[in-house]
């Protein structure tokens, strides 16, 4: 369109996502978001409806990007839930060790700031955590294991994922993170092992 500057929405979301991921919702000012995306306040509001909607869209972009990787990892080991969980944690460790992205996890960062989020954004973060739990629960499905145990293991794996994100931001070494993952996988294996 003549007279209007066009921009790539996905690219703008990626840049906004990085700001929210690095700074958190509360410290990601509109000025920072504008500088990162190359958009003025008016363009940000026009394209995304404001900071809160931009934040939810950035969360969705993050979830879609990493959710697909989690799905691939979990799906590569259908029928072998322990290997599926190991692969899931492998994706998490790869993301943590990727120098091209901020430390930690955007969803963990958002969950830690739930008290300062709008109710809509706080609920959105919870839905994303619930989606992750459902994804893991499906990978753990085993007709020989009590469903309540599988439910408990799914939330446990989500908790470990979030803990890895927090520990990585706090400077935990790769060895320390891999130790957590090893113990978590051993826990899952022992809980899924047939009684006897």
Domains of the chain: 51-192 (1.10.357.10)
Percent of the chain with pLDDT over 90: 81
Q: Tell me, what's the pLDDT at 44?
A: 85
Give mean pLDDT, residues 35-42: 88
Give mean pLDDT, residues 90-99: 94
pTM of the full predicted structure? 0.89
Q: Residue 165, CB half-sphere, CA atoms under 13 Å: how many? A: 22
Cβ contacts of 119 within 8 Å, gap of 6 or more: none
Cα–Cα dist 127/63, whole Å: 11
Give mean pLDDT, residues 18-38: 93
The pLDDT of residue 181 is above 60? yes
The pLDDT of residue 3 is above 50? no
Q: Tell me, what's the pLDDT at 6?
A: 66
Q: What are all long-range contacts of 21-28, with beta carbons under 8 Å and residues at least 24 apart?
A: 21/62, 21/101, 21/102, 21/104, 21/105, 21/106, 21/109, 22/102, 24/109, 24/110, 24/112, 24/113, 25/55, 25/109, 25/110, 25/113, 25/116, 25/117, 25/121, 26/113, 26/116, 28/55
Give mean pLDDT, residues 66-88: 94
């Amino acid at each position: 369109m003549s007279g209007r500057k066009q921009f790539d929405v996905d690219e703008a979301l990626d840049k906004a996502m990085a700001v929210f991921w690095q700074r958190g919702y509360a410290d990601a000012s509109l000025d920072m978001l504008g500088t990162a995306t190359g958009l003025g306040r008016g363009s940000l509001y026009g394209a995304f409806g404001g900071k809160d909607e931009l934040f939810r869209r950035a969360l969705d972009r993050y979830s879609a990007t990493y959710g697909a990787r989690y799905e691939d990892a979990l799906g590569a080991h259908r029928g072998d839930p322990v290997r599926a969980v190991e692969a899931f944690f492998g994706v998490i460790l790869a993301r943590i060790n990727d120098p091209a992205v901020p430390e930690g996890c955007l969803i963990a960062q958002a969950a830690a700031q739930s008290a300062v989020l709008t109710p809509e954004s706080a609920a959105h973060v919870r839905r994303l955590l619930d989606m992750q739990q459902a994804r893991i629960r499906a990978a753990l499905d085993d007709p020989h294991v009590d469903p309540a145990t599988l439910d408990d293991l799914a939330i446990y794996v989500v908790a470990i994922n979030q803990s890895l994100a927090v520990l990585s931001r706090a400077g935990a070494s790769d060895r320390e993170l891999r130790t957590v993952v090893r113990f978590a996988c051993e826990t899952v294996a022992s809980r899924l092992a047939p009684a006897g």
